[in-house]
Amino acid sequence: MKPLPIFLYWLVALLVPVTLVLLAVRIVLNPWYVEFEYRTPGFPDDPFGFTQEERLRYSRIAINYLLNDEGINFLGEQRFPEGQQAPDFSCTFMEDCTRMYNERELRHMVDVKNVVQAALRVLAGSSILLLILAAWAGWQKRGQGTLQAFEQGGWLTLILIALIILFVLAAFGILFVFFHDVFFDEGTWTFYTSDTLIRLFPERFWRDTFLMVGGLTAGMAVVVIGAARAIRKK
């Protein structure tokens, strides 16, 4: 067996955590996760009156928007149920208080959709590149080196996820702010507790989401490490 060139070795090793993290994000970015999260013990109720059924319905619409090809009107046209409107202190006389999302929320959701769509493109690209590199390595009889690189990538993933989970448990607020500062412009992602986005997705939701993504990623990393070792021993 020929060794894998060092550049390709580390390219594969670094692509593994990128792919696994984004794959976990894509798995979570589905209605099943919201329903699971809303039903976890101690999940806070909406203090402004959304029922769990309403939360589930509106959160599914928000997730659908992030994944579909529709423009922001998909959310902008959403209205509160008949007889409901935005809380008085979060709705000005210049706004239509029956609209579910105000202008600040809609602008943020446009930014979120751009980030999500970019992440999904990176996931597709990294997955395809890993498959191409694995096929090339097999053709060049460099399979052992490639499997070692996959295993190395699995260990890198576990180290990364361990650090993130420790940070979530110890100082989630700092991590949450850092994450948003990296991906969004300052001042575009803060909202009132009465805004729909916070009513649907409170801080507890995001803390649990980080932990869920971390757990799924770690599980997949263990599978990658175990599979690479098992195949190498054949």
Interval 197-231: pLDDT, tens: 999 999 999 999 999 999 999 999 999 999 998 88
Give the residue among 88, 124, 90, 121 at the shortest CA–CA distance from 105.
Answer: 90
The set of long-range contacts for 205-212, using a CB threshold of 8 Å and a minimum separation of 24, is: 205/37, 205/43, 206/176, 207/168, 207/172, 207/176, 208/37, 208/40, 209/28, 209/33, 209/37, 210/164, 210/165, 210/168, 210/172, 210/175, 211/165, 211/168, 212/24, 212/28, 212/33, 212/37
User: Tell me, what's the pLDDT at 85?
Assistant: 74
Distance between CA atoms of residues 102 and 96, nearest Å = 8
Report the pLDDT averaged over residues 76-101. Answer: 77
pLDDT tens digits, 32-63: 999 999 999 999 999 998 999 999 999 999 99
- Which residue is associated with the tokens 């009107």? 73
User: Tell me, what's the pLDDT at 88?
Assistant: 65
pLDDT tens digits, 107-142: 999 999 999 999 999 999 999 999 998 888 777 676
Residue 93's pLDDT band (cuts 50, 70, 90)? low
Stronger pLDDT, 153 or 93, i.e. the higher one = 153
Enter the tokens of residue 166. 């420790």
Distance between CA atoms of residues 97 and 94, nearest Å = 9
User: Tell me, what's the pLDDT at 4?
Assistant: 74
User: Tell me, what's the pLDDT at 77?
Assistant: 92
Distance between CA atoms of residues 96 and 225, nearest Å = 54
CA 40 to chain centre: 19
Report the pLDDT averaged over residues 183-209. Answer: 92
- Which residue is associated with the tokens 């529709």? 70
DSSP 18-64: HHHHHHHHHHHSSHHHHHHHHTSTTPPPPTT---HHHHHHHHHHHHH
Report the pLDDT averaged over residues 153-180. Answer: 94
Please determine, for residue 105, whether its predicted confidence score (pLDDT) is greater than 80: yes
User: Tell me, what's the pLDDT at 97?
Assistant: 80
Could you tell me if 20 and 155 are in contact, meaning their C-beta atoms sit under 8 angstroms apart?
no
Report the pLDDT averaged over residues 91-95. Answer: 64
Please determine, for residue 94, whether its predicted confidence score (pLDDT) is greater than 90: no
